[in-house]
Amino acid sequence: MSFRLRLSTTLFAACAGLAAGTTLAVPAGAAEAPLGSGLGNFSAAPSAPAANAMSIAAVVNEDIITVFDVQARLGLYLATSGLDNTPDIRSRLMPQVVNALIDDRLKLQEAKRLKITTGENEIRSSVDGIEQRNGMRPGAFRGMLAQANVDTSTLYTQIEADLSWVKVIRKELARDTTVQPQEVKAVMARMKANQGKPERLLAEIFLPVTPGIPEQTVRQLADRLVQQARGGTPFPALAQQFSQSATAALGGDLGWVVQGELEPEVEAMVTRLEPNQFSDPIRTSSGYHIIALRERRSSGAPDPRMSVVTLSQIYLPNLGGRAMTPAKIAQLSEEIHAKAKTCADMNTLAKEIGTPGSGPIPTVYLGGLPEKVRDGIADLKANQLSKPIEVAGARLFVMVCMRKDDTGLPSEEQVMGTLQNEKLTNAARQKLRDLRRAALIDIRI
In a domain, 265, yes or no: no
In this model, does residue 33 exceed pLDDT 60? Answer: no
| Total-model pTM | 0.60
In a domain, 270, yes or no: no
CATH assignment of the domain containing 100: 1.10.4030.10
Better-predicted residue by pLDDT, 125 or 290 = 290
Same domain for 169 and 314:
no
3-class DSSP state for residue 152?
A: helix
Q: What string of DSSP letters covers 162-215?
A: HHHHHHHHHHHTGGG----HHHHHHHHHHHHHHTTSEEEEEEEEEEE--TTS-H
- What is the spatial distance between Cα 395 and Cα 330, in angstroms, rounded to a whole number? 10
- Per-residue pLDDT band for 53 (boundaries 50, 70, 90) equals low
- Label residue 113 exposed, middle or buried (CB < 10 Å: 0-12, 13-18, 19+): exposed
- Per-residue pLDDT band for 20 (boundaries 50, 70, 90) equals very low
Q: Quick one: which of 349, 343, 345, 342 has its CA closest to 316?
A: 349
In a domain, 191, yes or no: no
**Final residue before a domain boundary, out of 157, 176, 195:** 176
In a domain, 259, yes or no: no
Same domain for 172 and 23:
yes
CATH assignment of the domain containing 368: 3.10.50.40
Q: What residues contact 204, with CB distance under 8 A and at least 6 apart?
A: 239, 243, 245, 247, 252, 254, 289, 290, 291, 292
Dump pLDDT digits (tens) for 399-413: 999 998 887 777 788
Per-residue pLDDT, 336? 95
What is the percentage of the chain residues whose pLDDT exceeds 90?
40
Indicate the helix (H) or strand (E) that contains 254.
Answer: strand 253-258
- What is the spatial distance between Cα 143 and Cα 77, in angstroms, rounded to a whole number? 16
Pick the range with the lowest mean pLDDT from 125-129, 151-155, 241-245, 332-336.
241-245
- What is the spatial distance between Cα 80 and Cα 43, in angstroms, rounded to a whole number? 10
Same domain for 171 and 310:
no
Average pLDDT, the chain: 82
Quickly count: other Cβ atoms within 10 Å of residue 156's Cβ.
16
Instruction: Specify the DSSP class assigned to residue 71.
Output: H
Are the C-beta atoms of residues 31 and 140 closer than 8 Å to each other?
Answer: yes
* Domain carrying residue 357: 304-404
In a domain, 135, yes or no: yes
Instruction: Summarize the confidence of residues 252-258 as an average pLDDT.
Output: 85
**Final residue before a domain boundary, out of 127, 156, 176:** 176
- Spell out the alpha helix ranges (H) of 16-86: 50-53, 67-81
In this model, does residue 49 exceed pLDDT 80? Answer: no
Identity (one letter) of the amino acid at 390? Answer: E
3-class DSSP state for residue 417?
A: helix
Q: Is 244 left (phi over 0), alpha (psi -120 to 50) or beta?
A: alpha
Number of domains in the chain: 2
- 63-99 per-residue burial string, b: 16 or more CB within 10 A, e: under 16: eebbbbbbbbbbbbbbbbbbbebeeebbeebbebbbe
In this model, does residue 64 exceed pLDDT 60? Answer: yes
- Per-residue pLDDT band for 358 (boundaries 50, 70, 90) equals very high
The gap from C-alpha 397 to its chain's centroid, in whole angstroms, comes to 39
Q: Quick one: which of 311, 302, 314, 242 has its CA closest to 88?
A: 242
Dump pLDDT digits (tens) for 158-194: 999 989 998 998 888 877 778 889 999 998 888 888 8
In this model, does residue 292 exceed pLDDT 90? Answer: yes
Identity (one letter) of the amino acid at 271? Answer: T
Q: Quick one: which of 119, 297, 93, 83 has its CA closest to 195?
A: 297
- What is the spatial distance between Cα 204 and Cα 212, in angstroms, rounded to a whole number? 24
3-class DSSP state for residue 244?
A: coil
Q: Number of helices (H) and strands (E) in the chain: give both, helices first.
A: 14, 15
Q: Is 218 left (phi over 0), alpha (psi -120 to 50) or beta?
A: alpha
**Final residue before a domain boundary, out of 156, 176, 196:** 176
- What is the spatial distance between Cα 11 and Cα 121, in angstroms, rounded to a whole number? 16
Instruction: Specify the DSSP class assigned to residue 139.
Output: T
In a domain, 119, yes or no: yes
Better-predicted residue by pLDDT, 302 or 46 = 302
In a domain, 267, yes or no: no
Per-residue pLDDT, 133? 63
In this model, does residue 23 exceed pLDDT 50? Answer: no
Dump pLDDT digits (tens) for 225-248: 999 899 888 888 788 778 888 787
In this model, does residue 61 exceed pLDDT 90? Answer: yes
Q: Quick one: which of 214, 207, 217, 79 has its CA closest to 150?
A: 79
Dump pLDDT digits (tens) for 101-112: 999 999 999 999
User: What is the rounded (10 degree) CA torsion for 28, 31, 32, 38?
Assistant: 60
Indicate the helix (H) or strand (E) that contains 293.
Answer: strand 287-298
- What is the spatial distance between Cα 87 and Cα 26, in angstroms, rounded to a whole number? 21
In this model, does residue 79 exceed pLDDT 90? Answer: no
In a domain, 400, yes or no: yes
Strand partners, 308: 365, 404
